[in-house]
Amino acid sequence: MSRHAPTTRAELMSRDVAPLPTNAPAQPFPEAARISLADVQLRRNMGKVTTTIRAKRAKAVAEMPDWEALREAGRAIKDRTLRHLDHYLIQLEQAVTRAGGKVHWAADAAEANRIIAGLVQSHQTKEVVKIKSLTTDELGLNEALREIGVEAFETDLAELIIQLAGERSSHILVPAIHKNRAEIRALFRRRLADTENLTDEPKALAAAARAHLRKKFLSAKVAISGANFGVAETGSICIVESEGNGRMCLTLPRVLISVMGIEKVIPSWRDLEVYLQLLPRSSTAERMNPYTSIWTGASAPGDGPEEFHLVLLDNGRTKVLADSFGRQALQCIRCSACLNVCPVYERTGGHAYNSVYPGPIGAILTPQLVGVHNAGSLPYASSLCGACYDACPVKINIPQVLVHLRGKVVEHKRESLSGRLAPEALAMKTLGKVFTSPKRFERFQKLGRLGQRLKIHNGMIESLPGQLGGWTAVRDVYPVAPETFREWWLRRSESKTSPNREGQS
Amino acid sequence: MSANSAREAVFGKIRSALKDVPKSEQPDDVAVDRSYLTASDESRPELIRQFIERVEEYRAKVRTTSPDDLPRVIAESCADNGIRSLVVPADLPDGWAPTDLTLLREPGLSIDQLEQAGGALTACAVGIAQTGTVVLDAGPGQGRRAITLLPDHHLCVIFEDQIVGLVPEAIARLHDAASRPDRPITFISGPSATSDIELNRVEGVHGPRRLEVIVVASSA
Amino acid sequence: MRMSLFLTCFNDTLFPSTGRAVVAVLERLGHRVEFLMDQTCCGQMHYNTGYQPEALPLVRHFVRVFGDSEIIVSPSASCVGMVHDFYPKIAAESGDEGLQRAIADLIPRVFELTTLLVNKLGVEDVGAYFPHRATYHPTCHSLRALRVGDAPMRLLRKVRGLDLVDLPSADECCGFGGTFSVKNADTSIAMLSDKNRCILDTGAEYCVAVDNSCLMHIGGGLHRQRAGVEPIHLAEVLAATEEGGRP
């Protein structure tokens, strides 16, 4: 695994360096963003994609007269679940076990990988098929399985594409969005059999993937999935998908292992009626996605896996839970609506976040999973525009959590002397003092005006020193006014009280 | 870490993380406002119309018929689609299956047989008008999941009184099947599709490339 | 009515013309404006950058200065947003119940300018004359935090001589975001490029907004490009008259 910080797009996208949370610390966002912002193809793809999905989502949501009520219920159910997470997890465990499934607990990624590897090895197979699962990406599961000689075949088209390309996902929902059809065609011709005459029509590319994966589905003994929801009341696990590869993996292999973050549990069967409305419209912007599969425990003979294992994963989620304000990040249902409305994500793409979860949700979830000191740049990767909050189907107040986490980043920095003496920290401390006193504030204004005299050209300042140079590298800045407002006000008040004085008003 | 100690470790962390939650608070004390719509107030004819329109929007074909005419319409659909071999569940209602083609009746069909078959014919549990969805729950006339997954054409029969307006109504009807290992549930909304390549929607990746729904008027 | 001007630290220092404009408009409508000299800063920059302990003294200071004012009006949606959205949280975290009560009492009296004019005073025509082509950029704080709605547009539509053109992709953030503009300068500028391109596409001479913080960024970019388009605060458009020109 390469440990030097990426300097090119190819390096940024490569699977050679695992993203957070498996690999920390990661390259800071501003540096990574600088690389990806320069990629013309990426900017074009991302701009087109996000603009298209935004419009579709808006249309799908506008159709629903009770959308706000659904959002509120979606939020409240998650809030209830998180506040009583232990209660619902016990209920889930009992229900799954009653239905013939086996429940495993993993405190961290290493443990989860060990459990899954053990299960796979016990079935003496060298190949598993996978349904797209961000949770398994979090674990670095594919790499862990490769180490024991097991190949994990991604069956989602986009996951297949990036797996063949050796690249990391750039989007929660459409992981290969950074690739256009020409790039995909070239990739398939290189890596798949019988593709000499392949065109770059999406239909043809999808057909090539279908043929390639069919064989795998029909022969695999073990399938690994994530889970969108786990219903505590009934022990049912729910997977929402589009292509049908999920159905293939859930029905054909003998053994099914589902990895589920502990926050994915929902209290009752009835609660699915809320999320199965919120998720499709927020993610693919459809009334309903093509396939949703719900099963409980181990199947009846011939109708699915004989053996079902549910791996319940912590891996930092209890850390998030412990922050009573930040824990709302665990409400996330992985729809990606926030990514699609984010003006930052739209331009930098997902790789710049160096995180399994990119975009706005990633900026609040990853630092809490891995500790703010390991992802200190992510809470700042936002202009706090608030578009994500408006789009979030479960009303996670992402902007407020970002500010909350910035507080934690600063708190952590100031634990050390070098942190307290850093230029920004000193400047902020000084300004804090300036603002608590009107007199100091006025002196500060006058000082600024004095100091800027030589720097004003054409009414504007074109360069600032130090960290502030980031502003003037690309923008002019307005100088302190020749007469501040309070100076004008004072003058005006004096001229009013002594009418003999000259004075403009 | 042993299995039990991992479990204990996770629960220990959860409990410690939730120390801001008062011990006296019960789960149901956290209010959930369910003022979203839970039932449609559309008329039955309007619901049926909406269901048909929305299923068709997914590029699934819809035929309508009466109970008496159902066998003929099924046969017609198979002929129109060039289906020469048809998979049917063991408990498919009498008289539904066409006689002029090869019938592959469950149980016991092999994966290869399912793969080679031209199509599959099933009933369903419930349909949702708002979203154009049919739902199977391994109930009567539906069979196991593989038969609507591997053959390239799924012909699904739904009676008008099985169609509800909204998702909450369907979820309520499916409650019996939930929690039963022998009753897995599949929501189907059109043929399979992906938008992974430049966001162009492409139909029929895995799963049947053609879905056809026959809506049967409720008798009398 | 008697109104207390909450001007904001950067308007006082960099854009006093906006303050003068607010005074002119409110006096023209027959109100008395006072400017409490002890005011400094609402603490938003510190709070949003993560220096939250530094914000608490500034919150207390704000309450001390404005606690007795009947109506407090500000030409900064972002600073009013700070008061409305974060002051209660800061007070709650401080554990100071007196402060919490004072803030709860104060918040309903703190108004962003366009909200005050249109919603509280019921005024849309303030007698303004501004014979130029302009486009309006809805800043994120005014759009999504304060939800001022169409108050700014209602005011602008009544300005005589104004050729108002719609801004494409208006709802998209300009990329300022406070210290984001410095810490993530590259991304900030990428966002600004698109915003400025949309502004230039309108053929407008002026870009109008209710936040000078965003205008500082938009204008700084336009000026660097020598684009020949000026930012202007909405208050200054409203203050412009046939006789007086701009304040």
What CATH number is associated with residue B128?
A: 3.40.50.10420
**Domain match, C110 and C144 both:** no
Give me the residues of C, 81-140, that contact A with CB < 8 A: 85-86, 89, 140
For A405-462, the pLDDT digits (tens) are 999 999 999 999 999 999 999 999 999 999 999 999 999 999 999 888 878 888 899 9
Cβ atoms of residues A387 and A341 within 8 Å: yes
In DSSP notation, A26-87 reads ---HHHHHHHHHT-HHHHHHHHHHHHHHHHHHHHHHHT-TTHHHHHHHHHHHHHHHHHTHHH
Question: What integer pLDDT is reported at residue C27 of this predicted model?
Answer: 96
Is the pLDDT reported for residue B194 higher than 80? Answer: no
Handedness of CA A18, A22, A27, A30 (dihedral sign): positive
Question: What integer pLDDT is reported at residue A501 of this predicted model?
Answer: 44
**CA distance linking residue A384 with residue C86, whole number of Å:** 14
Buried b (16+ CB within 10 A) or exposed e, C51-76: bbbbbbbbbbbbbebbeebebbbbbb
Domain holding A469, by residue range, is: 452-497
At which of A273, A297, A318 does a domain end?
A318
Residues 6+ apart with CB under 8 A from B153: B81, B83, B118, B119, B120, B208, B209, B210, B211, B212
* All chains having 3 or more CB pairs closer than 8 angstroms to chain A: B, C
Question: What integer pLDDT is reported at residue A212 of this predicted model?
Answer: 87
Inter-chain CB proximity C54 and A428 less than 8 Å: yes
The verdict on residue C14 lying in a domain is yes
Q: Per-residue confidence at A22, pLDDT binned at 50, 70, 90?
A: low
**How long, in residues, is chain C?**
247
Is the pLDDT reported for residue C240 higher than 90? Answer: yes
**CA distance linking residue A266 with residue A278, whole number of Å:** 14
Reference A262, options A145, A372, A135, A75; nearest CA is A135
The verdict on residue C126 lying in a domain is no
* CB neighbour class for A482 (10 Å; exposed up to 12, middle 13-18, buried from 19): exposed
Cα angle for residues B154, B158, B163 (degrees, 5° grid): 130
Hey, how many other C-beta atoms are within 10 angstroms of the C-beta on A344?
Answer: 28
End-to-end CA distance of chain C: 22
In what order do the strands lie in the sheet containing B126-128? A265-266, A229-231, A236-241, A291-296, B185-188, B133-136, B126-128, B163-164
At which of A295, A318, A341 does a domain end?
A318
**Domain match, C115 and C137 both:** no
The verdict on residue C246 lying in a domain is no
Query: How much is the pTM?
Result: 0.95
- With beta carbons under 8 A apart, name residues in chain B contacting A76: 30-33
Determine contact: A108 vs chain B, CB below 8 A. Answer: no
Is the pLDDT reported for residue A54 higher than 80? Answer: yes
Distance of CA B139 to the CA centre of its chain: 11
Mean of the per-residue pLDDT values for chain B? 93
Determine contact: C33 vs chain A, CB below 8 A. Answer: no
**CA distance linking residue C183 with residue A270, whole number of Å:** 46
Range from A189-193, A227-231, A424-428 that averages highest in pLDDT: A227-231
- Domain of C226, CATH number, reads 3.40.50
Report the number of distinct structural domains present in chain B. 1
DSSP state at residue A192: S
CA distance B29 to chain A (A): 8
Question: What integer pLDDT is reported at residue B197 of this predicted model?
Answer: 65
Tokens standing for C8?
A: 């904001």
Reference A356, options A178, A137, A175, A156; nearest CA is A137
- With beta carbons under 8 A apart, name residues in chain A contacting B16: 318, 322
The verdict on residue B45 lying in a domain is yes
Is the pLDDT reported for residue A2 higher than 90? Answer: no
Determine contact: C48 vs chain A, CB below 8 A. Answer: yes
At which of C57, C88, C120 does a domain end?
C120
**Domain match, C75 and C167 both:** no
For A342-376, the pLDDT digits (tens) are 999 999 999 999 999 999 999 999 999 999 999 99
Is the pLDDT reported for residue A1 higher than 60? Answer: no
Is the pLDDT reported for residue B219 higher than 70? Answer: no
**CA distance linking residue A102 with residue B95, whole number of Å:** 42
Buried b (16+ CB within 10 A) or exposed e, C97-106: eebbebbeeb
**Domain match, C209 and C230 both:** yes
CA distance A400 to chain C (A): 9
CA distance B5 to chain A (A): 9
Give the residue-averaged pLDDT of A181-207. 86
Give the residue-averaged pLDDT of A230-249. 96
Cβ atoms of residues B136 and B189 within 8 Å: no
In what order do the strands lie in the sheet containing B210-216? B61-65, B210-216, B153-159, B119-122, B85-88, B102-105
Q: Per-residue confidence at B195, pLDDT binned at 50, 70, 90?
A: low
Domain holding C176, by residue range, is: 133-239
Which residues partner with A240 through β-bridges?
Answer: A292
- With beta carbons under 8 A apart, name residues in chain A contacting B26: 84
What separation in angstroms does the CA of B83 have from each of A14, B155, B207, C35? 46, 11, 17, 84
**Domain match, C166 and C62 both:** no
For B42-81, the pLDDT digits (tens) are 999 999 999 999 999 988 999 999 999 999 999 999 999 9
Facing B6 at nearest CB: one of A70, A89, A111:
A111
Tokens standing for A19?
A: 């993203």
Inter-chain CB proximity A48 and B199 less than 8 Å: yes
**Domain match, C11 and C83 both:** yes
**Domain match, C111 and C6 both:** yes
Is the pLDDT reported for residue A502 higher than 70? Answer: no
Mean of the per-residue pLDDT values for chain A? 92
**Domain match, C115 and C139 both:** no
Inter-chain CB proximity A299 and B184 less than 8 Å: yes
DSSP state at residue A329: G
For B128-161, the pLDDT digits (tens) are 999 999 999 999 999 999 999 999 999 999 999 9
Q: Per-residue confidence at A498, pLDDT binned at 50, 70, 90?
A: low
* All chains having 3 or more CB pairs closer than 8 angstroms to chain B: A
Alpha helices (H) along A256-396: 272-283, 317-322, 337-341, 343-348, 359-370, 387-391
For A296-331, the pLDDT digits (tens) are 999 888 899 999 999 999 999 999 999 999 999 999
In 3-state terms, what secondary structure has residue C202? coil
**Domain match, C210 and C173 both:** yes
**Long-range pairs for C241-244: beta carbons < 8 A, 24 or more residues apart:** C241/C28, C241/C127, C241/C128, C241/C129, C242/C129, C244/C24
Residue of A nearest to C15 (CA): A481
Question: What integer pLDDT is reported at residue C245 of this predicted model?
Answer: 65
Question: What integer pLDDT is reported at residue A23 of this predicted model?
Answer: 65
Is the pLDDT reported for residue B120 higher than 90? Answer: yes
Quote the ipTM score.
0.96
Facing A488 at nearest CB: one of C16, C38, C140:
C16
Is the pLDDT reported for residue A336 higher than 50? Answer: yes
Mean of the per-residue pLDDT values for chain C? 96
At which of C120, C152, C177 does a domain end?
C120
For A101-128, the pLDDT digits (tens) are 999 999 999 999 999 999 999 999 999 9
Residue of C nearest to A30 (CA): C184
Tokens standing for C106?
A: 């104060």
Reference C178, options A428, A391, A484; nearest CA is A428
Cβ atoms of residues C236 and A497 within 8 Å: no
Q: Per-residue confidence at C246, pLDDT binned at 50, 70, 90?
A: low
Is the pLDDT reported for residue A177 higher than 80? Answer: no
Distance of CA C160 to the CA centre of its chain: 22
**Strand duo A291-296 + B185-188: pairing:** antiparallel
Preceding omega of A499 cis (within 30 degrees of 0): no
Helices and strands: H and E segment counts in chain A: 24, 12
Report the number of distinct structural domains present in chain A. 2
Question: What integer pLDDT is reported at residue C124 of this predicted model?
Answer: 97
Is the pLDDT reported for residue B2 higher than 80? Answer: no
**Domain match, C207 and C232 both:** yes
The verdict on residue A366 lying in a domain is no
Is the pLDDT reported for residue C64 higher than 50? Answer: yes
The verdict on residue A193 lying in a domain is yes
Hey, how many other C-beta atoms are within 10 angstroms of the C-beta on B62?
Answer: 17
The verdict on residue B158 lying in a domain is yes
Report the number of distinct structural domains present in chain C. 2
CA distance A227 to chain B (A): 15
The verdict on residue C223 lying in a domain is yes
Give the residue-averaged pLDDT of C45-54. 96
The verdict on residue B109 lying in a domain is yes
- With beta carbons under 8 A apart, name residues in chain C contacting A473: 185
Reference A170, options A185, A159, A156, A154; nearest CA is A159
**Domain match, C22 and C49 both:** yes
The verdict on residue C201 lying in a domain is yes
Contact exists between A and B (3 or more beta carbon pairs < 8 Å): yes
Cβ atoms of residues A68 and A388 within 8 Å: no
**CA distance linking residue C181 with residue C48, whole number of Å:** 13
A vs C, Cβ pairs < 8 A, gives 186
- Residue that is written with structure tokens 């949309």 in the block: C198
**How long, in residues, is chain A?**
505
Facing C183 at nearest CB: one of A30, A432, A473:
A30
